[in-house]
Chains A and B, each alone.
Chain A
Amino acid sequence: MFDNIIELLPEIAKAINETLLMMAICLTAAVLIGGSLGIVVFLTSRGQVLARYRHFNLVANALINVFRSFPFIILLVAVSPFTRHIVGTSIGPLAASVPLSLAAIFYFARLIEQTLRDVPRGVIEAAEAMGATPRQIVTQVLLVEARSGLVLAMTVLAVSFLSYSAVAGVVGGGGIGDLAIRYGYYRFQTDVMIATIVLLVIMVQGIQLLGQWLARHVDKR
Chain B
Amino acid sequence: MGTLSPFGTAIRLHGVSKRFAGIDGIEVGVEPTDLDVAQGEIHGIIGFSGAGKSTLLRLINLLEQPDAGQVVVHGEDLTTLSPDRLRAARRRIGMIFQHFNLLHNRSVADNVAFPLRIAGESAARIRDRVDACLAFVGLSDKASAYPAQLSGGQKQRVAIARALAPEPHVLLADEPTSALDPRTTQSLLDVLADVNRRFGVTIVLVSHEMSVVRRLCHRVSVMEAGRVIERVSLDAGHIPPDSQLARWLNEFGGGSESAAPQGYAPHALAREAAHV
Contacts and interface: CB of A to CB of B under 8 A. Distances in A.
A220 interface: yes
Interface in A143-189: 144-145, 147
B105 interface: yes
B114 A130 contact: yes
Interface in A42-93: none
A220 B118 contact: no
A123 B93 CA distance: 17
A131 interface: yes
A136 interface: yes
Given A122-B99, A141-B103, A131 B90 contact: yes
A128 to B, nearest CB: 7
A1 interface: no
Interface centre among B88, B104, B105, B114 (most CB of A within 10 A): B105
A194 interface: no
Contact of A221 (B87, B91, B105, B117): B105
Contact of B91 (A123, A125, A131, A147): A131
Contacts of A128: 63, 90
Nearest to B98: A122
A129 B73 CA distance: 14
B119 interface: yes
B104 A145 contact: yes
A11 interface: no
Contacts of B63: 125, 128-129
A141 B162 CA distance: 15
Interface string B77-92: 0000000000111110
Contacts of A130: 90-91, 95, 114-115, 118, 162, 166
Contacts of B95: 126, 129-130
Give the secondary structure class of A's interface.
Answer: helix
A129 B222 CA distance: 25
A202 B99 CA distance: 44
Nearest to B89: A131
Interface string A115-127: 0000010110111
A162 B33 CA distance: 60
Given A140-B117, A140-B118, A144-B106, A132 B101 contact: no
B142 to A, nearest CB: 14
Contact of B118 (A120, A136, A221): A136
Contacts of B162: 130
Contacts of A133: 87, 118
A129 B103 contact: no
Interface string B122-138: 00000000000000000
B118 A132 contact: yes
B105 A131 contact: no
Interface residues of B, number: 27
Contact of A220 (B91, B101, B114, B146): B146
Contact of A123 (B87, B89, B102, B119): B102
B130 to A, nearest CB: 14
A120 B99 CA distance: 10
A131 B103 contact: no
Interface in B59-81: 61, 63
B105 A220 contact: yes
Nearest to A137: B118
B243 to A, nearest CB: 32
A136 B118 CA distance: 7
Interface centre among B89, B115, B146, B148 (most CB of A within 10 A): B115
A218 interface: yes
B97 interface: yes
B19 to A, nearest CB: 16
A220 B61 contact: no
A140 B120 CA distance: 13
A129 B102 contact: no
Contacts of A126: 95, 97, 101-102
A133 B88 CA distance: 10
A131 B99 contact: no
A220 B148 contact: yes
Given A126-B101, A130-B115, A130-B118, 6 more contacts: A123-B104, A126-B97, A129-B63, A129-B172, A132-B118, A220-B105
Counting from the closest, the 5 A-B pairs by CB-CB distance are A126-B101, A131-B87, A131-B90, A221-B104, A130-B115
